[in-house]
């Protein structure tokens, strides 16, 4: 299982990530609030500003303090390493 660092030593299984999006739009804020109410929210920001929202195939939402582009590049690095062996 490949893990992706999402900041502060926190990891998410790369195969479980469906999308990495920014937190600024109203629909995303609504998704976060609904997930918090259901108990499906994982806040990995350590009190810092949320910069990316990671959606998983299990329905959980993970908040991260690193930019979506950074998470995406780390995912791509994992894919490249897996292909190269």
Q: For residue 37, how many other CB atoms are within 10 A of its CB?
A: 9
Mean model confidence pLDDT for the chain? 95
Q: Write out pLDDT tens, residues 66-80.
A: 999 999 999 998 777
Please state, in angstroms and rounded to a whole number, the distance separating the CA atoms of residues 74 and 85: 17
Question: 8: pLDDT confidence band, cut at 50, 70 and 90?
Answer: very high
Residue 8's nearest CA partner among 63, 61, 53, 55 is 63
Distances (CA, A) of 33 to 39, 49, 73: 10, 16, 27
């Amino acid at each position: 299982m490949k893990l992706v660092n999402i900041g502060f030593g926190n990891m998410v299984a790369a195969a479980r990530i469906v999308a990495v999006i920014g937190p600024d739009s109203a629909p995303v804020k609504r998704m976060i609030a609904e997930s918090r109410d259901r108990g499906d929210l994982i806040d990995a920001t350590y009190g810092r500003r949320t910069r990316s929202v990671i959606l998983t195939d299990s329905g959980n939402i993970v908040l991260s303090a690193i930019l979506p582009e950074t998470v995406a590049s780390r995912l791509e690095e994992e894919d490249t390493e897996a292909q190269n062996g």
